[in-house]
């Protein structure tokens, strides 16, 4: 496995968190704190239509009336919402941008992160340049989106959501908030009020998106929250595969990331949504790191529609995230494949909700949690079957792997079956990384770090195989790096 070797090299060569560099970019901020004027400021910055501002202000009002949820199995210093910046953008010209106009410093950052932004290089087959389209979101704004023109040829719209609000306002208006309503939860309401960018994707009927789409989120500015909004619509009989990646600099403070992702899937359409989340997890003592409070939901409206969530969660100090599927269509299908790795003082409360409303809808949940150090990981999942949904099937498997004696792992499955024909299966295992396995691998020549990486990659293999190939190798490396120093 070449990836293992690369992992080891990476581990040896780098600090624990390799994306932790801070870049000095000239940044424009909104005034600190949150009030209706800040919401107006953001909306104006984006040149949004009036209805959008109204929508945001309504969300803000709802948010004021809500309370932060406390049911998750995580502990953290409360966020002081008035001390944050809600908008931070690199200073540059507005409007459509070509790569030439982007601040070279920013391009350098993405180069360092290994994100291909140069279409020419990709097209010319420059070595190492993967062929997938990228929307690069830097703090609160999208700095560049690649392959827009090529995608437009087949009718695929892939652009920053702020741009879509100007260019396709009707399309956005039709679907925005239709999957995750403004008042869905505290963080979704906050996001609705202040989101500044994210990606918008529309795949027209019958089109199979010709390349992987991806959005790369980077938080750079200090004391700034990132609130991204992603909306993907797969029209009838279409298909797309989408991936998001995230990193942030190492900072002593906790930074808030509260995203909302909405997927709309019509008849016979399919969306494959993958996440490799590597936000800064905080230092060895648990200082700093990202609060990752995210609402992700897919609405499988169409018959035979299909959504597959795959997530590799290795970063963040605190994760609160439940990518879910509302299976409205008959014979619709939802899948959730998750790898959650926690080390140090990280806490993750993550899982999924499969809401079966349509007849013969199916869902499948494979969740793998790896806990090391003093970290704590919870799988929290709901499988719900509506009284009228006959012939529903679900299979759930939750496996936990513990490394060392100071970490915790919990499984909290909720099952609500209101129709007697449902077939629901739940399997769960908890194991400890065994000394026997470690020694066996070391006896054959692997160092301790290599042995841990190999064993953990074996444990998560079922899920890793669900990732698009371009990202699987990267994710394998990430697994090893996240667990550095977890044994011995």
Residue 441 beta carbon to other proteins: minimum distance, rounded to whole angstroms: 7
CA atoms 27, 28, 32, 38: torsion sign = negative
Near other proteins by CB under 8 A, which window of 147-155, 221-229, 342-350, 446-454? 446-454
Q: What is the DSSP letter of 383?
A: E
Q: Is 70 in the site for other proteins (CB under 8 A)?
A: no
Q: Which of 77, 83, 421, 442 binds other proteins (CB under 8 A)?
A: 442
How many CA atoms, within 13 angstroms, populate the side-chain half-sphere of residue 24?
0
Q: Are 179 and 209 in contact (CB under 8 A)?
A: no
d(C-alpha 57, C-alpha 62), whole Å: 9
Place of tokens 């690649």: 146
Q: Which of 66, 448, 470, 473 binds other proteins (CB under 8 A)?
A: 448
Q: Is 88 in the site for other proteins (CB under 8 A)?
A: no
Q: Is 454 in the site for other proteins (CB under 8 A)?
A: yes
Q: How many residues bind other proteins (CB under 8 A)?
A: 26
Q: Pick left, alpha or beta for residue 47 (phi over 0 → left; psi -120 to 50 → alpha; otherwise beta).
A: left
A 10 A CB-CB count for 3 gives 20
Q: Is 485 in the site for other proteins (CB under 8 A)?
A: no
Residue 9 beta carbon to other proteins: minimum distance, rounded to whole angstroms: 10
Strands 212-218, 132-138: pairing is: parallel
Q: Is 414 in the site for other proteins (CB under 8 A)?
A: no
Q: Is 437 in the site for other proteins (CB under 8 A)?
A: yes
Q: Which of 124, 153, 435, 469 binds other proteins (CB under 8 A)?
A: 435
Q: Is 337 in the site for other proteins (CB under 8 A)?
A: no
Q: Which of 184, 462, 470, 474 binds other proteins (CB under 8 A)?
A: 462
Near other proteins by CB under 8 A, which window of 131-139, 162-170, 336-344, 433-441? 433-441
Q: Is 14 in the site for other proteins (CB under 8 A)?
A: no
The H-or-E segment that residue 212 falls in is strand 212-218
**Would you say 61 or 462 has its CB closer to other proteins?**
462
Q: What is the DSSP letter of 95?
A: S
Instruction: List beta partners, residue 294.
Output: 321
Q: Is 455 in the site for other proteins (CB under 8 A)?
A: yes
Residue 373 beta carbon to other proteins: minimum distance, rounded to whole angstroms: 20
| Cβ density class 177-186: b for 16+ within 10 Å, e for less | bebbebbbbb
**Would you say 83 or 431 has its CB closer to other proteins?**
431
Strands 229-234, 254-257: pairing is: unpaired
d(C-alpha 33, C-alpha 83), whole Å: 5
Place of tokens 């792992």: 409
Q: List the interface residues with other proteins, window 290-309 (CB under 8 A).
A: none
**Would you say 161 or 455 has its CB closer to other proteins?**
455
Q: List the interface residues with other proteins, window 339-378 (CB under 8 A).
A: none
Residue 449 beta carbon to other proteins: minimum distance, rounded to whole angstroms: 10
| Cβ density class 290-320: b for 16+ within 10 Å, e for less | bbbbbbbbbbbbbbbbbbbbbbbbbbbbbbb
Q: Which of 67, 95, 443, 469 binds other proteins (CB under 8 A)?
A: 443
**Would you say 93 or 444 has its CB closer to other proteins?**
444
Place of tokens 């990659």: 457
Near other proteins by CB under 8 A, which window of 211-219, 247-255, 358-366, 457-465? 457-465
Residue 375 beta carbon to other proteins: minimum distance, rounded to whole angstroms: 21
Using only C-alpha atoms, what is the Rg of the chain? 22
Interacting residues toward other proteins by CB under 8 A = 1, 4-5, 434-437, 439-448, 450, 454-455, 457-462
């Amino acid at each position: 496995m070449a990836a293992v070797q690369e992992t080891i090299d990476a581990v040896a060569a780098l600090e624990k968190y390799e994306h932790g560099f801070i870049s000095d970019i000239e940044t424009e901020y909104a005034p600190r704190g949150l009030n209706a004027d800040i919401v107006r400021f953001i909306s104006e910055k984006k040149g949004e239509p009036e209805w959008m501002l109204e929508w945001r202000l309504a969300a803000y009002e709802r948010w004021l009336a809500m309370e932060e949820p406390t049911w998750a199995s995580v502990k953290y210093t409360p966020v002081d919402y008035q001390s944050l910046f809600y908008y931070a953008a690199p200073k540059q010209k507005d409007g459509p941008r070509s790569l030439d106009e982007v601040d070279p410093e920013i391009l350098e950052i993405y180069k360092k992160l290994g994100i291909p932004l140069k279409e020419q290089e990709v097209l010319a087959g420059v070595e190492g340049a993967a062929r997938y389209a990228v929307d690069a979101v830097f703090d609160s704004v999208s700095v560049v989106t690649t392959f827009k023109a090529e995608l437009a040829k087949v009718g695929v719209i892939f652009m920053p959501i702020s741009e879509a609000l100007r260019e396709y306002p009707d399309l956005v208006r039709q679907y925005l908030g239709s999957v995750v309503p403004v008042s869905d939860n505290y963080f979704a309401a906050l996001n609705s009020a202040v989101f500044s960018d994210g990606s918008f994707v529309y795949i027209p009927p019958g089109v199979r998106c010709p390349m992987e789409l991806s959005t790369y989120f980077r938080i750079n500015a200090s004391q700034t929250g990132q609130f991204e909004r992603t909306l993907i619509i797969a029209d009838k009989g279409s298909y797309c595969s989408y991936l998001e990646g995230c990193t942030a600099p190492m900072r002593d403070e906790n930074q808030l990331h509260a995203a909302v992702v909405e997927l709309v899937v019509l008849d016979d359409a399919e969306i494959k949504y993958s996440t490799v989340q590597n936000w800064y997890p905080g230092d060895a003592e648990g200082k700093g790191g990202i609060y990752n409070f995210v609402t992700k939901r897919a609405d499988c409206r169409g018959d035979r529609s299909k959504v597959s969530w795959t997530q590799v969660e290795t970063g963040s100090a605190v994760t609160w995230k439940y990518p879910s599927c509302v299976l409205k269509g008959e014979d619709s299908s939802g899948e959730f494949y998750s790898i959650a790795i926690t080390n140090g003082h990280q806490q993750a409360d993550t899982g999924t909700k499969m809401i079966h409303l349509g007849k013969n809808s199916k869902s499948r949940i494979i969740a793998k949690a790896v806990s090391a150090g003093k970290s704590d990981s919870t799988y929290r999942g709901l499988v719900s079957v509506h009284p009228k949904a006959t012939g529903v099937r679900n299979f759930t498997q939750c496996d936990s792997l513990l490394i060392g004696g100071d970490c915790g792992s919990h499984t909290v499955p909720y099952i609500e079956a209101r129709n007697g024909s449902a077939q629901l299966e739940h399997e769960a295992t908890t194991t400890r990384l065994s000394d026997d396995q470690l020694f066996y691998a070391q006896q054959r020549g692997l160092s301790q770090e290599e042995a841990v990486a190999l064993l953990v990659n074996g444990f998560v293999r079922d899920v890793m195989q669900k990732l698009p190939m371009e990202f699987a190798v990267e994710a394998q490396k990430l697994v090893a790096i996240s667990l550095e120093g977890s044994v011995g």
